[in-house]
């Protein structure tokens, strides 16, 4: 009956049903929907929708955004009943369960919430597993928090290192294991919440009591070489640590807020330094354009995009492409994130009077061939960069713009003369980072019509998209790593003329399109069609 309904709805084929029925004959206890899902014949959403209809219950398609801090039921019990309280109120508790009709689970939860009405909804077992793993992590944190409180009371706690150090190391190691780029320790009225950024998205992981938060914040500031007693002013610092025989650098920022100091730790993983522009994820056609720009003897080449879009990685990869024994390469950065051999790197220090513009003036007297500027922030820096480009230097830098064409108007808006921009600019690349599908749990799926309708003229009617379902390898997220999507143009004589005449963005765009220019959405769509990422990821970061 279930199989026939799925065929009628066009979710599976008769051949797929026959194959699955044969598997079920050999394994009578397995449910038909489970086999269909394991064979990747139906998506998670369709699996939940059909099972919820069969059980006459509601379902929830994701448990990604639930707050772990409110869950006080022991993990051992949650593992036993395979259910998670996801929305806890005084008079009502919403519980996501693998089996919403399980009376045993209801009796367990009624003990913890005696005065509340319990409402059970169906959730997928993979989503339940993901949350249970996070809660087990949380229990380990709670054990360390208890030991810190004992230390604060003056009691002796076993261990070679203090409980505070062990807790900080646990948070850092757990974050690195989950491929996090940043750790956010954010004070609240009663303590702090710890969130980590994984592939561009923040996830809430742990919570700290006020006394534990104060101990952790003070210790991090001490390790980072910051003034522990100063809590009224923002501070910056850094420290290094060896974990599992790998060396990591950490950049620390503190910011006073109404509830205390917000602390952000940037993880600088030297294992992620890219050695070649072949490996940063740029598509073959755009890579060809990038290499052509880097072969120019002089001019400015810009990489644009918002914070966290991988601009620095692209610049470093570009430097590796052009640097050599016959080239003098100097960079000016704020801060220098990764130290590279064979390249002279200058750290901006405004307190000591060393600004981007000031450093650039000195750099020009050092006889460089290639100059990399971390970011063009003001007209003074821009004018020196243009001067350097026009006097025989290749200048690589970044700007904060939403697309590549906007970089031209941004430079002119900053105060540069259009004819100077036209003469100096060799090309612009704009980019975003998208999450890569996990290859271990990759499965076909059908994006919603809201995503498919705008691109129906670009794809075939029977086009199949893919994304990761979530597994142990990808921490149940469906994604491992990130790749970039990009758009790039090089300046030719006609475009140089248009820029010099201060033509607007629309006219520049029309000319580039006539030459075959495609924006980064199209680049992303190619990657989605190639199973590298999901269609939703492309829409998340790029405009059609």
Mean pLDDT of 405-414: 95
How sure is the predictor about 461, in pLDDT bands with cuts at 50, 70 and 90? confident
CA angle 72, 78, 82 (to 5 degrees): 145
Query: What confidence tens digit (pLDDT) does each residue in 157-197 have?
Result: 887 889 999 999 999 999 998 889 999 999 999 899 999 99
> For residue 243, what are the β-bridge partners?
246
pTM flag (> 0.85)? no
Kindly state the helix (H) or strand (E) to which residue 283 belongs, with its residue range.
none
Q: At the top level of CATH, which class does the domain 277-433+484-519 belong to?
A: alpha beta
Tokens, residue 411 = 């430079």
Tokens of 335: 């801060």
Q: Region of 93 please: left (phi>0), alpha (psi -120 to 50) or beta.
A: beta
Q: Tell me: the pLDDT tens digits for 477-517? A: 889 989 999 999 999 999 999 999 999 999 999 999 999 99
User: Is residue 516 classed as helix, strand or coil in its secondary structure?
Assistant: coil
Residue 7 has pLDDT above 90, yes or no: no
Q: What share of the chain has pLDDT > 70, as a percent?
A: 99
Options 3.30.450.90, 3.30.70.1560, 3.30.70.20, 2.30.30.90; CATH of 159-268: 3.30.450.90
Q: What is the mean pLDDT of the chain?
A: 90
- Which tens digit of pLDDT belongs to each residue from 56-104? 999 998 887 788 778 888 889 999 999 999 999 889 999 999 999 999 8
In 281-329, which ranges are continuous DSSP H helix?
284-294, 311-322
Torsion sign, CA atoms 450, 451, 456, 462: negative
User: 535: closest CA among 460, 469, 437?
Assistant: 437
Mean pLDDT for 424-435 is 96
Residue by residue, DSSP assigns 126-194 as: HHHHHHHHHHHHHHHHHHHHHHHHHHHTT----SSS-HHHHHHHHHHHHHHHTTEEEEEEEEETTEEEE
What pLDDT, on a 0 to 100 scale, did the predictor assign at position 63?
A: 87
Q: What is the DSSP string of 401-462?
A: -SSSTHHHHHHHHTT--HHHHHHHEEEEEEEEEEEEEPTTSEEEE---HHHHGGGTTTS-TT
Region of residue 249 (phi > 0: left; psi between -120 and 50: alpha; otherwise: beta): beta
Question: Is 203's pLDDT higher than 80?
Answer: yes
The DSSP H or E segment spanning 217 is: helix 210-223
Same fold, 159-268 and 277-433+484-519: no
State pLDDT tens for residues 265-302: 999 876 666 568 888 889 999 999 999 999 999 999 99
For residue 46, give the 3-state DSSP assignment.
Answer: helix
Listed by start position, the domains of the chain span 2-124, 159-268, 277-433+484-519
Question: Cα–Cα distance between 85 and 78 in angstroms, integer?
Answer: 9
């Amino acid at each position: 009956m279930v199989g026939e309904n799925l065929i009628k709805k066009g979710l599976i084929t008769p051949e797929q049903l026959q194959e699955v029925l044969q598997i079920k004959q050999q394994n009578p206890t397995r449910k038909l929907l489970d086999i269909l899902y394991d064979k990747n014949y139906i998506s998670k959403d369709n699996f939940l929708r059909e099972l919820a209809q069969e059980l006459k219950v509601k379902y929830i398609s994701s448990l990604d955004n639930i707050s772990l801090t409110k869950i006080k039921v022991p993990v051992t019990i949650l593992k036993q009943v395979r259910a998670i309280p996801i929305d806890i109120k005084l008079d009502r508790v919403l519980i996501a369960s693998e089996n919403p009709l399980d009376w045993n689970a209801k009796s367990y939860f009624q003990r913890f919430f005696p005065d509340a009405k319990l409402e059970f909804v169906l959730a997928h077992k993979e989503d339940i597993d993901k949350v249970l793993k996070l809660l087990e992590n949380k229990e380990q944190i709670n054990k360390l928090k208890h030991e810190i409180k004992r230390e604060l009371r003056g009691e002796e706690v076993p261990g070679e290192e203090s409980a505070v150090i062990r807790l900080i190391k646990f948070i850092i190691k757990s974050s690195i294991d989950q491929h996090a780029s940043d750790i956010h320790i954010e004070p609240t009225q009663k303590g702090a919440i710890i969130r980590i950024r994984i592939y561009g998205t923040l996830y809430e992981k742990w919570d700290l009591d006020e006394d534990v938060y104060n101990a952790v914040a003070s210790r991090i500031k001490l390790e980072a070489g910051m003034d522990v007693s100063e809590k009224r002013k923002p501070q910056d610092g850094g420290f290094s640590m060896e974990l599992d025989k790998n060396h990591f650098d950490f950049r620390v920022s503190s910011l006073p807020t109404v509830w205390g100091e917000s602390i952000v730790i940037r993880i600088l993983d030297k294992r992620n330094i890219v050695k070649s522009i072949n490996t940063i994820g740029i598509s073959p056609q755009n890579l060809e354009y990038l290499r052509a720009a880097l072969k120019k003897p002089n001019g400015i080449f810009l990489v644009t995009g918002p914070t966290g879009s991988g601009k620095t990685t692209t610049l470093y990869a570009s430097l590796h492409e052009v640097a050599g024994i016959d080239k003098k390469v100097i960079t000016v950065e704020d801060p220098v994130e990764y130290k590279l051999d064979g390249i002279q790197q200058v750290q901006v220090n405004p307190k000591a009077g060393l600004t981007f513009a000031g450093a650039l003036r000195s750099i020009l007297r050092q006889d460089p061939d290639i100059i990399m500027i971390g970011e063009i922030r003001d007209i003074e820096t821009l004018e020196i960069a243009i001067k350097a480009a026009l006097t025989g230097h290749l200048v690589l830098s970044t700007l904060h713009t939403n697309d590549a064409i906007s970089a031209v108007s941004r430079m002119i808006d900053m105060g540069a003369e259009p004819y100077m921009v036209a003469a100096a600019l060799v090309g612009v690349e704009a980019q975003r980072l998208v999450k890569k599908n996990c290859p271990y749990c990759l499965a076909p799926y059908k994006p919603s019509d809201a995503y498919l309708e705008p691109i129906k003229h670009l794809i075939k009617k029977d086009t199949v998209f893919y994304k990761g379902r979530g597994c142990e390898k990808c921490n149940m997220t469906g994604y491992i790593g990130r790749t970039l999507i990009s758009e790039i143009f090089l300046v030719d004589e006609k475009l140089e003329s248009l820029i010099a005449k201060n033509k607007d963005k629309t006219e520049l765009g029309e000319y580039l399109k006539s030459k075959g220019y495609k924006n980064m959405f199209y680049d992303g769509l190619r990657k989605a069609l190639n199973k590298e990422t999901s269609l939703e990821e492309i829409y998340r970061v790029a405009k059609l």
